[in-house]
Structure 1
Amino acid sequence: MEKNPGENFCLRILEGALARHRPALLFLVQGESSTGVYQPLQGVGPLCRRYDCLLVVDTVASLGGVSVQTDQWEIDVIYSGSQKVLGSPAGLAPISFNSRALSKIESRKTPVSVFYWDVKHLSNYWACSGEPRKYHHTISSTLVSALREGLAIIAEEGLERCTARHSACAKRLHNGLRGLGLELFVEKEDARLPTITTVRVPANLDLKVLQDYAMKNYAIEIAGGLGPTAGQAFRIGLMGYNATTDKVDLALKAVREGIQHARKLQQTSKL
């Protein structure tokens, strides 16, 4: 399946692809970090069941920032990352398998070629197999403790309040960027990921000057584009403890001043 960068998939396109290709597995990214696109998942799970297909979802850049209803949406495998909205150090990838996915794993006839990717071994290591635990690797206890604290902070705030905060901050950022005369990369509002905003690089703007200014003066890292957005957009992340109105306003100030600084340097170089 292919869509233009900045667009997501509707159920009609997804069903057409499932009917045409009959895959064993459909992989979707709920929050696509290179383009800032949000992929709706409601209704996809039942489609996959209709075509005898597993649904696997990446929520690395979305979990905690938008609604994720794993069982209700009939997602078979779902994973995330500890370092984004969950606000913990990088290094852990929470993952969940439902009974359909586990049945597929158990029925596998060929051995997994890479020991570290063998979910059966990992399941035993995680004490999920009901068998005596065997050594697989040594996990970082400090990372687990940090992730627990990140989850505890979200639980204390409340998951619905957490996602609402991210949504409100994203809208504030979007309105502020448009007020600066900038164009959002994702045109449709309902296709924009609240946690990552992509902005089209204005014509004749040296993005590196803007990035350096924001880092030097405000310690704010403005990321460049990735993949299909490389050279076309820059990205601003609002995740976890950075999703606050004061951080939004500070980011807008850095962008505004950085663009002004870049324009002045450009004019000076022409003299």
Structure 2
Amino acid sequence: MTRHQNITTQNALTFTKRPAVERGKADFGWLKSAHSFSFGQYYDPNHLGFGNLIVINDDLVDGGKGFGAHPHKNAEIFSYVMGGALEHKDSMGNGSVVGTGGVQYMSAGSGVTHSEFNPSATDEMRFLQVWLVPEVENTQPTYDTMDLTSADKDGKLKLFLSKDGRDGSMKTQADASVYAATLSGDQMITQDLTAGRKAWVQVAGGSVRVNEIILNKGDGLAIDGTGALTFDQGKDAEFLFFDLAP
């Protein structure tokens, strides 16, 4: 195993850590956000995305505040709610409130307008908003939600978004499989990264070790190559795992 700054090489795998403290920051008072990749006023040519994963924003929204109606086109967008609730309305006529542990997904396709608000007048709401690039542009916009229970992701990778909609996951236009997991104590998860794929790990809470690399809340890990991945030493860990097109 070799290391160089945030890059670690193990056999046929290369890991590049994206420390939480190095993310771009935005503070609008009602919204505090950390950007893993270039977004809005934050631009870093070294962090424009990873494969077809182009946005991971860690957003904290004050009670009663949110994002007014705004358009999207040709982006696969999901929100993973970490605390509180997220209210969604869109030009397709959809309206929903997704609570902690839930996921809302929108395929913007040929174009859609939506809003996202914290429906509580007093409590903060935290969520991860993620954008993926679709394989085909200008498809019919769609919307879906999924509630993930604690049991769904306890010590295992729970698939909630995939290209083929397998295992009850929501179907996306992006070539990606996205999983959620929690890990604590002596729990361990193994996963193979196959040839021609990339992977990204985003830690939403706690800490976890991935192939000897310690990740804490807010850290990301880009993975290239082929081989076995091991997740262990979780301390109240909650994370997303992305299996991505190159």
- TM bin, normalised by shorter chain, reads under 0.3
Q: Which structure: greater helix fraction? A: 1
Q: Which has the larger radius of gyration?
A: 1
TM-score, normalising length from structure 2? 0.27
